[in-house]
Structure 1
């Protein structure tokens, strides 16, 4: 078997970071460590999380050219290697590092390539083109959601599930809600809904804030766990709509068990998603999910059987669905139970690792069949 070099940005946060740290723990748990090496571009929370698992970790740094040189050096030290990158920037660097040295590379695509840079008009014009160029150089690609295959420029596309590997909740849901009510200075009977997401245009958080202005259930509060370039504009929108006292910006958070345990509903109104970890985490800790009716969430919520699907961008319909679940506890609990019993079992660390191992076998067969990488085969 080739040595798998898992290449990622050390400062990564969010779903892709959870995917990589879960993979590192699975590699150790299922005794696959000798076949894997993890390579972090720079330090940061993800590099720290991977380091604690005990896998072999290399941290490289510097500018893009220096990082590519260091990556090449690591790959040359192995007789047979496969570089596995995560994220648009890492994919571009991977394509450059392997372009003329005969080492095959692959990537896991966590999100729609054309929606990764919506926050910047310049980046949104340049980076998607560079990213798609890089993906054409890959021997094959892994995807966390089937609909992503439609936009990828490669013949071999392999499915891999995200995985949930979370500590159990140490408090009751009532105790979690009480903690947050006190922390925010709210009445004990306040109803809490929320979302954990980066403040990026693709997440459509403005739609959620507009929905809050239409929610009729008294004393309902929205908790936004996350941060990003849209924070100021979202805060301004809350002020304009007169809901600033009911929309709470919590900033970036780690250890979200108490957050998910406190909210009755987790709402993700995105315009595009792969398989979002926040939905998996919310369902694990007992929050009912409302997600926009897009392929990734439609699949995850089993066409509305394990959560509510909302029309994309429709704040009025979203508000009605929030009110419906807040006012019907039994319906909300039915969605939670359906999610736990029929969705979560499909997203275990063991299934993630098994999918990668199967995929690497397919890629190796492709490499041998095409004789594309003569140096290492």
Structure 2
């Protein structure tokens, strides 16, 4: 577990102290005595409660520091900021100066409801983490050294000389188990990679073989299709030639049949003509009577039509004269009265059309009468023949 993971765990399961509470770690003993409201969580020991002794063992100086509580369980040091942190079974975090010959009064802070299992200082010595038997991780802030203090330059040099490593809240057994598990995973991954490479090689071989087989198969199919296309082309040419021969033969037969039918039709027409001549000779006598009647009817019709035509012609002449009379005036007033001229011409054309329609209707009536007389003539001829 890295320092980042610990911070995330702390943010979810604990509430860190405020800056005011953390600054109390470096306050003097006189200031701590005046804060009576923090007596439950911050216990200031009036007496140093320590016994400092030095012994020389093989040119090495051993320093001892006696804490009156006799319930210490863990320890950690911040060498740059010159503090030593002690954890007790009563759940308190005890702080003093470091090295031990600079020790002063102990400052204790209630951190956990159970014993403090471990205390860990971060790399930059800006935070200290305590892990308690109550299952809570608490983060404490360590105040920075002021630049005016004589320890600042020394602390800065010491901090730069520290190795660049990350803190881990794990034991050696955990690291060993993780290393073994990682080794197993690496061996498993390498085995899977080799197996995958072999499998991919086999797949590539199978793919190459199947590709060659498919290419050969499709080439064979293409050759067969080309042969089929050539055969169909030859059959098409043969069928086209036979079709043209059959069409020529059918046309010849058709022309001969048409000639025979035309000959038969000519014979029938000659027979019908001879029969018609006979009928005309039989009906010749009746024709004179009907001709007289028709001539009389035509004469009367012509007289009536001539009379009407004369009237219409006179009207047209009058309109034409009026039109010619007003032509000069219309030409002078063409720019102003072009629409009037068009209307007059249109009216004249309409009247002429009406006259033509009347004449055509009269001619159609006379034609109907003639057809009626001819039908009567035919009926009389039929009666005469029977």
Q: TM-score, normalised by structure 1?
A: 0.19
**Higher helix content, 1 or 2:** 2
Q: TM-score, normalised by structure 2?
A: 0.18
Q: More relative contact order in 1 or in 2 (CA 8 Å, sep 6+)?
A: 1
Q: Greater CA radius of gyration, 1 or 2? A: 2
